[in-house]
Structure 1
């Protein structure tokens, strides 16, 4: 039998209560969003309050404006994440049942859609407040990585978004028919890449460390666009690499396309996640090059 790690017995729900005939539960995924937002917001406020991090004329906004912007960003991420998932991954299904688009409690959020919603909300807010947009982006990306880190850990706890089958010793035996349907022999257990933890490491720990170091030790916030470029390029590259180990959404898999490639020619191609990450990598590289010329 191949070496593998059994899936830990952790309930997706932290606790649940019944009130007036209804069940209410606090799930790890919801807590990850809440804690990630709080930590990210505190990082942003801390950066705004340190004049030494900024070139003249100083930080792009004050703590009160950052708090007001937070509400806009939360709405933008939720709406963008949901609409992105509908358009990028399940369009035909939701086109047949448009009312299901509103059922966000059933799951289905796209990071790339959430990022577009994030950008759109920030663009509208900064325009209304006449706040410089590029330096605002630079400080906001400093607070994104905690949510990415905790969100991916919550994905692991939920036993969702698991990776492709593997015989590596750290492969995880995720529960459920879908996770165990690897085409293996009868009675054998299927181990998969814990791709959620790969993303938590790369998008959260590694990218977060680089961003904090660049802002606090390297003076990156004094060069408009630099930390934004690091974030976009770093996240795009991390997601692009992890996609090689991540199981694609079922709607992209077919008998002639077992790897679930959204764009493929002759058995080679890119997954939807990789296609959506390429523009982020290019945008990030352009912003970094632009900031270094200033």
Structure 2
């Protein structure tokens, strides 16, 4: 089917153009912070009734979250996806106009920011990672939809009826809309799974459990979608003709998620009444 006629530029003010991708980052942080505020305010959800930091502080953290996502995402892309080029052209590292952001790098930056922020508030840093796991799916969903609007990060050719002909594709063949696959799996579905865990099974009372569920769900979804998503041109397939950098970077996340879940389930369950 043809690609919908959506301009990647949301609006322009004189020579300054605001893209949907930038708005997705901003809206993802704002909506994530708003949802995080509701979670933090409901103290009965948390271990011993104590969230990682007061709900009112989420707006301070949102500022640091935005910076950490952008810096971490860019540094991750430079290191993981195109290091030889940037070693030869170091000034291009700060040029984000050509794109180039790594989700895995952004995740690491956000985790570091959450841990440091929470420690400064004398809270439980594992619970801060649980908070990230509960809200991060919102930003992932919006970011992947923005990737679709940008006609980037599309998948391999397909004969399936929902294949999309992207305007940026030089071959102009129907391809897997892998951005939407990720939006549904890593965004919508994982949000619902974690919402069930936090509000039905009170998983936030076992620090590390929600973060582990998120890590496992994200890693498995990303590894699965990578089978139909085209790898970055400069890297291609790394091993066996099908293994991608995205899959390799997702394996430590999967392992870390398993460790977190195993650790959380071996700790005493906080017996606050629902």
Given the two structures, how large is their TM-score scaled by the length of structure 1? Answer: 0.87
Partner of 2:8: 12
Partner of 1:270: 243
Instruction: Report the Cα distance in structure 2 between the residues aligned to 1:40 and 1:57, rounded to whole angstroms.
Output: 21
For residue 35 of structure 1, report the CA deviation from its aligned partner.
1.4
Alpha-carbon contact 2:53-2:121 (below 8 Å) kept: no
For residue 123 of structure 1, report the CA deviation from its aligned partner.
2.3
Instruction: Report the Cα distance in structure 2 between the residues aligned to 1:49 and 1:16, rounded to whole angstroms.
Output: 38
Partner of 1:52: 44
For residue 66 of structure 1, report the CA deviation from its aligned partner.
2.1
Instruction: Report the Cα distance in structure 1 between the residues aligned to 2:222 and 2:198, rounded to whole angstroms.
Output: 23
Alpha-carbon contact 2:134-2:195 (below 8 Å) kept: yes
SS at match of 2:18: strand
Q: What's the Cα RMSD here? A: 1.3
Partner of 2:70: 78
Instruction: Report the Cα distance in structure 2 between the residues aligned to 1:17 and 1:58, rounded to whole angstroms.
Output: 45
Q: Which runs of 5+ in 1 are unaligned?
A: 182-188, 253-259
For residue 103 of structure 1, report the CA deviation from its aligned partner.
0.9
Structure 1 residues 70-149: aligned runs within 5 Å? 70-149=62-141
Instruction: Tell me how many residue pairs correspond in the alignment.
Output: 267
1:216-261 CA-partner distances (Å, limit 9, x unpaired):
1110001111100011111111100000010000012xxxxxxx22
Tell whether 2:255 aligns with 1:282. yes
Instruction: Report the Cα distance in structure 1 between the residues aligned to 2:62 and 2:12, rounded to whole angstroms.
Output: 28
Instruction: Report the Cα distance in structure 1 between the residues aligned to 2:16 and 2:151, rounded to whole angstroms.
Output: 21
For residue 14 of structure 1, report the CA deviation from its aligned partner.
1.5
For residue 59 of structure 1, report the CA deviation from its aligned partner.
1.6
Instruction: Report the Cα distance in structure 1 between the residues aligned to 2:51 and 2:118, rounded to whole angstroms.
Output: 13
Alpha-carbon contact 2:223-2:246 (below 8 Å) kept: yes
1:41-90 CA-partner distances (Å, limit 9, x unpaired):
11111011112212314222102322222222211111110010011111
1:156-213 CA-partner distances (Å, limit 9, x unpaired):
001001111111111100113xx233xxxxxxx4111100000000011100111111
Of 149, 158, 173, the match for 2:150? 158
SS at match of 1:270: coil
1:115-155 CA-partner distances (Å, limit 9, x unpaired):
11111222222233322100111122211111100110010
With 156-165 and 55-64 compared, the bigger mean Cα shift is at 55-64
SS at match of 1:6: coil
Tell whether 2:197 aligns with 1:197. no
Partner of 2:220: 237
Q: Which runs of 4+ in 1 moved over 4 A?
A: none
Instruction: Report the Cα distance in structure 2 between the residues aligned to 1:140 and 1:41, rounded to whole angstroms.
Output: 10
Partner of 2:271: none
- Please say which structure displays the higher CA radius of gyration: 1
